[in-house]
Structure 1
């Protein structure tokens, strides 16, 4: 299997899991996906069949009480299945549980927070980052 890349591309080889080839329904994938924080790599990772298929890249300034999210990545073959949203929810819930604030540079995370305003309190008021949470009503959710 090929490790995930930011750019990815192409069709999934026949040797890849059926999920990568689009042979598994979304509801089956949801139960087969694991989300975890990987402090060694500075990422939150979505893992399917032992393969990292998506991640949020983060940085924690030494001794600080905030975490900086730089971007969210999902392999092209796995997009449109709600992986990025599950990653963001997991990551924001983790920040909340650890009493950390968020400095955000990821537009996907900003849109997620706009749609889930209960997370807006996590955004650091002094250092919010460049991806500002849009001031709008939440979009209709399907979760």
Structure 2
């Protein structure tokens, strides 16, 4: 199966300080730390076998949606998140 299952959802694993996405029997995640009203995403990780399939983009999109729902801002602490924000102006209001 090479396509992304669009029914999968991103969850906030607060005890581990990361957003997680289960897909195709593996786990992609974005580590973060909180500072006041901001979430600083410091690292994104997709299993090597699943790279190039848009999974990291789905992960970041879901994380940004969760951040928005909490009324927080995001700081891109890794290049992938910075590039995603630059390519998706619909999330520009979240930049903190």
Per the normalisation by structure 1, the TM-score is: 0.61
Aligned residues: 96
What residue is the counterpart of 1:104 in the other structure? 76
Secondary structure at the counterpart of residue 84 of structure 1: helix
Answer 1 or 2: which has greater helix percent. Answer: 2
CA deviation map 1:59-86 (0-9, x unaligned): 113xx11111101110100101111000
Gaps of 5+ in 1: 1-23, 125-143
Secondary structure at the counterpart of residue 90 of structure 1: helix
Secondary structure at the counterpart of residue 29 of structure 2: strand
1:40 aligns with 2:40: no
Between 1 and 2, higher relative CO (CA 8 Å, sep ≥ 6) is seen in: 2
What residue is the counterpart of 1:59 in the other structure? 33
Retained in 2: the 8 A contact 1:44–1:56?
yes
Paired with 1:119 and 1:31, the residues of 2 have a C-alpha distance of 20
Paired with 2:14 and 2:5, the residues of 1 have a C-alpha distance of 23
Structure ID, larger Rg: 1
Answer 1 or 2: which has greater strand percent. Answer: 2
CA deviation map 1:35-92 (0-9, x unaligned): 211111111111136642x11100113xx11111101110100101111000110011
Alpha-carbon RMSD across the aligned residues, in angstroms, is: 1.7
- Deviating above 2 A after TM superposition, structure 1's stretches of 4 or more consecutive aligned residues are 31-35, 48-51
